[in-house]
Structures are given as C-alpha cells and as structure tokens.
Amino acid sequence: MVDNKERIAIIIVITMLVLGNVFFAFNYFPVSRELQAIKSSQSKAKVNEKVINFTSLFIKKVLQANTEVDFETRLSLENAVRELKDEEIMTEWTNFVGSSTETEAQNSVKKLLGILIDKIQK
C-alpha cells in the first residue's frame, strides 16, 4: 500500500505536470495567432512583389516604348498578368488589350494602373 509521503509526492508531480500543460497551452495560442499573422503578411508580400514586378514591366515595355509593342513583350505581359491570379486586374488587362481606339486604351491604362496601385497599398 502507498504511504502518505508517496501519495503526496505523486500528487505534487501530477499537479506540476498539469500546471506545466496549462502554462504551455496559454503560451501556445497567442504564439499560434502571431504565426498566422506572419504567414498572412508574408503571403501578402509575395502578391505585392508580383504586382510590383508586373507594374514595372508594363511601364517599361508599354508606357515607355518608342515603338509598337512586339509579340514577345505582349506574351510576357500576358503571362505576368495570369500569374497574378487576380480577376480584377485580369479583367482590366483584357479591356486594355481589346481596346479598339486610342482613347479606350488610355482609359483602360488609367484604370489598370489605379487597380495595381490599390493592390500594392492593401
């Protein structure tokens, strides 16, 4: 049979283990939330990087072009837009590419650049 000293020792050990678990549980949940926030901001940074890269490519290859944009450049821009996987940007890109007049194209460029800036700021 277990005597009182052994029983007290067992109760102390069990109590310490339970308190340790409670301590780690209270520390786990805030750290878990912080980790989720960091992952979210990291994901946002990757998206921003892609949007910035596309915006830079668009400005250099289209807006600053002295000649008509060649097929390879259009293809690289199209692939860059698709890689963004953003419906709003893709829709405005389609409107820009499908523009039949210079005025429509200019308006589409304004809208597209506005959307890109909004995406970067979010």
pLDDT tens-digit series, residues 93-109: 999 999 999 899 999 99
Tell me: the pLDDT tens digits for 8-20?
999 999 999 999 9
Mean pLDDT, rounded, for 61-65: 90
DSSP 64: T
User: How does residue 1 score in pLDDT terms, banded at 50, 70 and 90?
Assistant: low
Give the count of domains, the chain: 1
Mean pLDDT, rounded, for 41-66: 88
Q: Which domain holds residue 42?
A: 4-121
Residue whose pair of structure tokens reads 């405005």 in the numeric block = 92
Token representation of residue 104: 């429509």
Token representation of residue 37: 């926030």
User: How does residue 44 score in pLDDT terms, banded at 50, 70 and 90?
Assistant: confident
